[in-house]
Amino acid sequence: MRFVRFLSAVIACWLLLAPRVAAADPVRVAAASDLRYALAELRAQHAAARPGASIELVFGSSGKLAAQIENGAPFDIFFSADAAYPQRLRQRGFCAGEPRLYARGRLVVWCPREAAGSVAIADLAAPRFRKLALANPRHAPYGQRARQALEKAGVTSAVESRLVLGENVSQAAQLVESGAADAGLVALSLLFSPGLPHADRYSLVPESMHEPLDQSFCVLKRAAVNSEAVAFARFCEGRAAHAILRRYGFAASGGNTP
């Protein structure tokens, strides 16, 4: 009788604890803000194929996210807009393996009040562009490349006093969308936001005007044995993921289509 009571108590405790055991901690992904829409779709596709998977996305500038990881932020995967940041983390012992290239981003001049394709980067010196938005070059790869392109076009001195900086490229795009800036040097991928007005009114910045935006990701050492983190990382390297990235304007690293 005592054994039956003991067994009943064990089963009751297991039933109480089972939901907590089953609800695994979400995989925490730190991602460059140019992936805001593409990565959200990747997460949805992954969840459809792997019910119960929980992926938490945190977006920001690549440089700031890398610094947070070095300071102990509990992220499991890091997607960077510049391959240099994951490589540095690898060298400093934060990655579970070698970083993997997943895409190349594209920089565009976005001018919602101008005709599509009508404004080249050299045209931004014109007085009608009273404010020009870009990501902060101190820690955002798109801001760094925007600076390089402005210098290559020879218009840095003309636009310097008109620059408004976003903490990341997503914030730079928001400055343009809100009208706080007349034009912006932003990520092509962000112009695929659902319902974004005048998203087609942009011009591609020639890649010859700046260093490439080769992007890579790494599984961080704390997630080396996390099966959900590893599964999501593998999914992001597959054909379905590449098709999604293509739809958001990304090319494969090296400039070819994924």
Note the maximum CA span of the chain.
Answer: 90
pLDDT the model gives residue 25: 85
Residues of the chain with pLDDT under 70: 1-24, 254-258
Average pLDDT, the chain: 91
Please, what are the domains in the chain? 24-104+213-247 (3.40.190.10), 106-209 (3.40.190.10)
Tens of pLDDT, residues 44-60: 999 999 988 899 999 99
Q: How many other CB atoms are there within 10 angstroms of residue 170's CB atom?
A: 25
Determine contact, residues 76/229, Cβ cutoff 8 Å: yes
pLDDT the model gives residue 252: 78
Q: Strands 132-135 and 202-204, how do they pair?
A: unpaired
pLDDT the model gives residue 24: 63
pLDDT the model gives residue 86: 98
In sign, the C-alpha dihedral spanning 185, 188, 194, 200 is positive
Residue 53 to residue 42: CA distance in whole angstroms: 12
Tens of pLDDT, residues 128-173: 999 999 999 999 999 999 999 999 999 999 999 999 999 999 999 9
Residue 218 to residue 75: CA distance in whole angstroms: 11
pLDDT the model gives residue 247: 96
Give the closest residue to 182 by CA, choosing from 159, 149, 210: 159
Determine contact, residues 90/218, Cβ cutoff 8 Å: yes
| CB burial string 21-34: b at 16+ within 10 A, e below | eeeeeebbbbbbbb
Q: Strands 213-219 and 163-166, how do they pair?
A: unpaired
Report H helices in the chain: 2-22, 36-49, 62-70, 84-91, 141-153, 156-159, 169-178, 227-235, 239-247
Determine contact, residues 104/253, Cβ cutoff 8 Å: yes
**Global confidence as pTM:** 0.88
